[in-house]
Chain A
Amino acid sequence: MAARTGAVDTAAIVRQSIEGRRFSPGGAAFEAGLLLMLLVSLGVLVTLLADVITGALPVFRDRGIDFVTSGISLDSSTAGVWTGLLGSVGISVIVAIVAFPLGLGAAVYLEEYAPDTSVTRFIQTNIRNLAGVPSIVYGLLGLAVFVRLVDLIGLGGSDSVGGRNLVAAGITLAVLVLPIVIITASEALRAVPDTIREAGLGVGATRWEVVRHHVLPSAAPGVLTGTVLALARAFGETAPLLVIGVATGFFSAGSAGVFERLTGSYTALPVVVLSWSRQADPVFKENLAPAAILVLLVVLFAANTAAVILRNKYDRKW
């Protein structure tokens, strides 16, 4: 063996590996490279937050809570996020009302009732595909269908609004997050062990009674967590709203009642961020937009934290 030139000296390599030279420069460089990638990714997050906070700080220092409670305005010294915040909360409420029962119902059917047929599998594949459709396509769907539908059933508001209102926005975003609600609710239902169902069915309960009294209470934390995350997604969504005619400029909301607010012109917090970032006035661009982003991030962070706490507190391991 030793006579063959270039042959591997196995014994020497094994001895060396056992005795020492643990440090390998190539391995260390590889690890350092990976760590660098991780640090750059996190560095971007830090830079983004630092940029937003330094821009927003003067606004909150000078105006405090007044910035949150002031409405839309063309004057940079009085403009606030209240109109946008109200719009976003209104949209989220409609999203919850529409998407939660539909999503949970579909998940219950798919997990508890549906036979394992090609039709069921088709529905499941279809839901996964819907979850991957770009959000702006949902905006086009909203423009072609929901805006007209809302106008048709008499919720369209005045002629100039013509259905481009909070109701249409809520329905469009509800459809957008529906696949997420179905998928997370399905996962929560699947996590409930079959022994629970069999015990219920075994003592003579019907399928619905088992679902109502045993499966749903056990799956509730997971279902609610998924719904909260879906609402957070809807809260930060901008693109579909642009397509279905959210107000990107100034409009007068006045002291309208709830119905007028639902059917009239509206704006949403992320849309406020967009329109302020595109203003020529540097105060809007460099201070007010970051301040609005900060409000948006605080709301989303609170929602995510609530979801995590909900899951950790009530989720049980079987």
Chain B
Amino acid sequence: MSSPVRSIDLRGEPARLRRELRMKRLFLAAAVVSIAISIAIVASLAGNALRFFTDVDKASLLDVGWFPRRSRFDLLTPIAGTLVMAAIAMLVATPLGLGAAIYLSEYARPRVRRLLKPVIEILAGIPSVVVGFFALLWIGPNIVVELLNSPKPATILTASIGVGILVTPLVASVSEDALRAVPQSLREASYGLGAKKSTTVRTVVVPAAVSGIMASLILGLSRAIGETMVTFMAAGAVGGALRTWNPLDSGTTLTAAIASVATGSDQVAGEALAFDGVFALGITLFFITLVLNWVSDRFVRRVREKY
């Protein structure tokens, strides 16, 4: 006759339980690393940026332009460049991305869609340095100079078109997912009332997917603002730029300004104030994209709750 089972017998061998605890702690440690990275990012950016703002001659913060090696630190120059560049990039990416998404989701035959969706995703995977090369050596001479009669190929506009091309597949891919998440019953109800296809798409499907579409646009904007290589290669700034709102001037952005200080003939570490200055740009960039990603996240959640 066996003795009755006590609860202590069900706990298992101590060695097994110890291993269980050890593995759990190991996994927890891996998860905590992501928090440590965030703290390290904020700390390193804020620390150096703070030193920059205490050391810098305050008058040079509103100087004529951003020339870190000549101690001119007009923060408005890269910020203005970023705003102009992002606005034009979104003017390119919004119609292209949304148009492609609506066509693929609502009009394309299933076979065409299955063929083209991966192609859009390939376009999304093209490294930004390749798009930068394309902007510098193709868009510049062929579009900006030939078509728009600009005297020089490397301008903010050149880079903006390149960045627009870069974020188009992202906008297309995310908003296509949002459009396809709209239940078929909504479309059928609209057809049932006698609406045409185009009426259904414009007045039923797109409004139903609007939060996902907005999220794709904000995500695209965030990506455009954070994009480095295209503006660094194609916007025409060497070492610095004058403050300008004209897209046909050469200029710089927050990201490109960081990259050009870093690749200057003397290494970043050489010049203390310029070194700290890039962190001031970095923290500005970090918070802009953080806010945009947060807003985009809210929109995505709204679309999830809906259906």
A contact set with B: CB distance below 8 Å: 13-14, 17, 24, 26-27, 30-31, 33-38, 40-42, 44-45, 47-48, 51-52, 101-106, 108-110, 112-114, 123, 125-130, 132-141, 143-145, 162, 175, 178-179, 182, 204, 206-208, 211, 232, 236-239, 242-243, 245, 248, 270-271, 273-274, 277-278, 285-286, 289-290, 293, 296-297, 300-301, 304
Contacts and interface: CB of A to CB of B under 8 A. Distances in A.
Given A37-B100, A140-B279, 7 more contacts: A40-B96, A47-B138, A114-B31, A136-B255, A175-B37, A207-B23, A238-B129
Contact of A208 (B24, B127, B172, B219): B24
Contact of B30 (A31, A101, A207): A101
A258 B127 CA distance: 28
Contact of A207 (B24, B228, B232, B297): B24
Contacts of A108: 27, 30
Contact of B20 (A42, A139, A208, A285): A208
A293 B219 CA distance: 27
Given A239-B255, A277-B132, A248 B33 contact: no
Interface stretch (B62-70, B73-81, B288-296): B288-296
Contact of A41 (B97, B229, B233): B97
Interface stretch (B114-122, B180-188, B243-251): B114-122
Contact of B41 (A141, A207, A286): A141
B1 interface: no
A175 B41 CA distance: 11
Contacts of A232: 125
Contacts of B273: none
B125 A102 contact: no
B12 interface: yes
12 contacts: A17-B194, A31-B198, A45-B123, A47-B138, A128-B293, A132-B222, A134-B225, A134-B228, A136-B228, A206-B20, A238-B229, A271-B129
Interface stretch (B53-61, B144-152, B258-266): B258-266
Contacts of B219: 132
B209 interface: no
B95 to A, nearest CB: 6
Nearest to A301: B122
B237 interface: no
B129 A109 contact: no
A286 B137 contact: yes
Contact of B27 (A106, A129, A134, A178): A106
Contacts of A37: 95-96, 98-100, 103
Contact of A109 (B17, B27, B122, B198): B27
A176 to B, nearest CB: 10
Contact of B31 (A48, A109, A145, A289): A109
Contacts of B282: 136-137, 140
Interface of B is mostly: helix
Given A127-B34, A207-B20, A285 B137 contact: yes
Given A137-B286, A141-B40, A145-B40, A242 B30 contact: no
A30 B198 contact: yes
Contacts of A13: 194
B35 to A, nearest CB: 6
Contacts of A278: 233
Contact of B255 (A14, A44, A134, A207): A134
Contact of A129 (B24, B137, B290): B290
A289 B132 CA distance: 12
A236 B127 contact: yes
A238 B127 contact: yes
B155 interface: no
Contacts of B290: 129, 132-133
B102 A34 contact: yes
A239 B95 contact: no
B301 to A, nearest CB: 11
B28 A109 contact: yes
Contact of A106 (B34, B47, B97, B129): B34
B251 to A, nearest CB: 17
B104 to A, nearest CB: 7
Contacts of A41: 96-97, 99-100, 120, 123, 168-169, 172
